[in-house]
Structure 1
């Protein structure tokens, strides 16, 4: 599936909701534990800004992940993500509940995952994307595979792809590249 960028672009145009996994997507998948048992993850600021751009464009951003970590809650708060779903065993069922709450159709939803537990949700969504270093079967079933790895700018690349497909990227980045008028 991942070889058809034009099909991926067409599917991305319809998105009103984009959800993301955490480990291997928003982070590189490494898990760090303090001596006190606190789980730590590293998040990429490029990815965070991409998520903010999606929200600014009116696309609802969500996190649906199988693990629970306080640092994920803090990161979601920092980015203004209100649809945070942690410790989810059935990601597809959680997406269906979220779609019902938001009154959206599955064709208007996308998901970015990297491993086998993400596949049922990715296959059900109108758009799916995966990082370059995802499991090979996940890459095979995603509509788009990024050139970057999880936790290393893959989310930003996906966000910009979606915004470009919707014709919104240039307007959103224009304030940052406009000539200085001093």
Structure 2
């Protein structure tokens, strides 16, 4: 996993140049927003169980054919795996928010996930729907302005949404 600082230094080194004013301004903005990132990660982590379980319940209600007899996730073991996987994805989304980089999620969570679901006969679009449900709940929790660092969080919320979108796209 590379953080934003490592990426900027690596890129400048490859070009054999000093950090540009744009690079330094971008890193300064990241530092200024670090408390907001920590607030978001703390909120998501504190509410992880509810985010995952609510997404799972909504997914079961939306796609009962997947969870009823004959469905890909009928057995308790498969249902537990679904909940576990949603939790893994949420955890890696929080890592990505903290780092400001999706590479850890790509490398350690999403790489090969589509193929795994295909091999298990699990419909990727159902998993993607569950991820989108987590996204909706997580954005609501993260965007609540009570008790967090004040300021414009629209870019951070867009970034957070993009990590969920990236995960959903990886499974279909």
Greater percentage in helix? 2
TM-score (norm 1): 0.26
Instruction: State the structure with more CA Rg.
Output: 2
